[in-house]
Amino acid sequence: MPTITNKSSFEDRLAELEQEIELSESPAVSCMIESIRMSFVQGRRGICKFRSWNCS
């Protein structure tokens, strides 16, 4: 994956990943894409929601 230097092109790449049928059918990939998108929301710190993955 090439280095992405601005937020706009990063969002474009996420949109491309969502269009990939095989990838979009995987719940893990869909959840990771959602987590990455949510990391751009104001007040969020980091990409992954560690606590939600770590809960039993």
d(CA 30, CA 26): 6
For the chain, domain boundaries = 7-42
pLDDT at 40 over 80: no
The rounded mean pLDDT for the chain is 73
Task: Give the pLDDT band (50/70/90) at residue 13.
Answer: confident
In sequence order, what DSSP letters do the residues of 23-43 get, joined into one string? HHT-HHHHHHHHHHHHTTSTT
State the pLDDT at residue 37: 81
Task: Return the SS3 of 20.
Answer: coil
pLDDT at 45 over 60: yes
DSSP 46: S
